[in-house]
Chain A
Amino acid sequence: MKTVLLSAVLLVLGLPAWAHHSFAAEYDGEKFVTMKGVVTKIDWQNPHLHFYVDVTTAKGEVEQWKFEGFPPNMLVRQGWKKDVSLKAGDHITVTGWLARDGSKLAHSREITWDDGKKLLSGPPAGTGGN
């Protein structure tokens, strides 16, 4: 059974992740975050999806965060549909990794909508530096 599980893990890890640039060039794989907020804008573009989320902090301040994700061709293979899956006004929880430069930029991994729907929005972290 252990072998079967290992094979399954390897199969998942074996899927190539980064088509365009090194993860580690921009993002910190040690800084995994989960944020909740309201989507304000979606740029369905190559080489990366970008979407913007208003996140309310514990102090009640609203921060505007930007998230990077898969290109459109890979989003479609994850089950996404342009203008349908993610819309301005959606309440979402998004996971991802923070940018190295400390800006309000992160690389997204998965989005969960309030109704429980989930979609992967970006590849897993890679080091890109070894």
Chain B
Amino acid sequence: MTARSLAICILAAVPLYSQTPSKPPVPRTAAGKPDLSGVWQGGNLSFAIGEQNAARVSAPGGAPAAPAKPEPPPYTEAAMKIVQQYRDRRGIDDPAARCLLVGIPRITGMPMPFQITQTATQVLFLYEAFHTFRIIPTDGRPHPDDITPSFMGDSVAHWEGDTLVVDIVGFNDKTWLNGVGTFHTEKLHITERFTRVDYDTILYDVKMEDPEVLTKPWNQHATIRLRPEDRVREYECGENNEDILRFESLLKNENLFRKQ
């Protein structure tokens, strides 16, 4: 065998090893857009510290690698002092500990799956965590003019190529963005981008803007994975939330919390 024919053999064999076996293509709707319908699991927007980005780094299917270190929240100096106070209290003030809706983008990082159901004019997100939902119009309508501030805000979406771009406003100031004490104001504006890069992977890019407390947009990235074997179950947080009673007791002992 000549060197040339050996090289051809090697080049021909490489794709066999680099391809993921029998993965279907990204499904598409009649309109030609990617169909995001299915049961999915987010994850690396985790509330737990140090877990960000891990899933994306290990994403299969040739998904682009994420930066190894997540972008720190660009709070103003004054706002950062408040964040630090929450951290010193070890997250005991977390709104989710009171079983309140966790808001966006934190809902995407919950350790429970969600279902996306896509129609010609809407994308529905049905979340197991805190059994909440989002009904997102994709027919070009703007945000309504009678928005009342809410935990999950008001979402409208459009397509940019194969990416679903969701614009969210109308938040209250009662959720944390992603991490202990990451508070915001009612001026919060979020842009989410969902790109189904292969059959079982959605890349999730989220931009958080709040001119009251952030000095610039805060960007986070995550990988959302298809969970075809799973289904959305029930999570009724308020059934027996005795943690909050224990918190009241803990708060009486300042020694249990870090000093600033």
Contact = CB atoms under 8 A, between A and B. Distances in A.
Interface of A: 7-8, 10-11, 13-26, 43, 45-48, 50, 71, 73-74, 76-77, 100-101, 105, 123, 126-130
Interface of B: 42-51, 53-55, 57-58, 87-92, 94, 96-97, 99, 109-112, 128-129, 180, 230, 233-243, 246-247, 249-250, 253, 256, 258
Contacts of B109: 16
B44 A22 contact: no
Q: Which of B242, B246, B250 has the most CB of A within 10 A?
A: B246
Contacts of A15: 43, 46, 51, 55, 111
Given A25-B247, A126-B48, A19 B55 contact: no
Contacts, number: 152
The 5 tightest CB contacts between A and B, nearest first, are: A22-B91, A14-B54, A126-B48, A16-B46, A21-B97
A16 B47 contact: yes
Contact of B46 (A14, A50, A71): A14
Given A45-B239, A73-B128, A18 B48 contact: yes
Contacts of A101: 246, 249-250, 253, 256
A91 to B, nearest CB: 26
Contact of B246 (A18, A26, A43, A46): A26
B129 A129 contact: no
Given A18-B48, A47-B237, 5 more contacts: A14-B46, A22-B97, A25-B97, A126-B47, A126-B48
A127 B50 contact: yes
A10 B48 CA distance: 14
B251 to A, nearest CB: 10
A45 B112 CA distance: 16
A74 B237 CA distance: 13
Contact of B94 (A17, A25, A46): A25
Contacts of A10: 54-55, 57-58
Contact of A14 (B44, B97, B247, B253): B44
A25 B250 contact: yes
B94 A14 contact: no
B51 A13 contact: yes
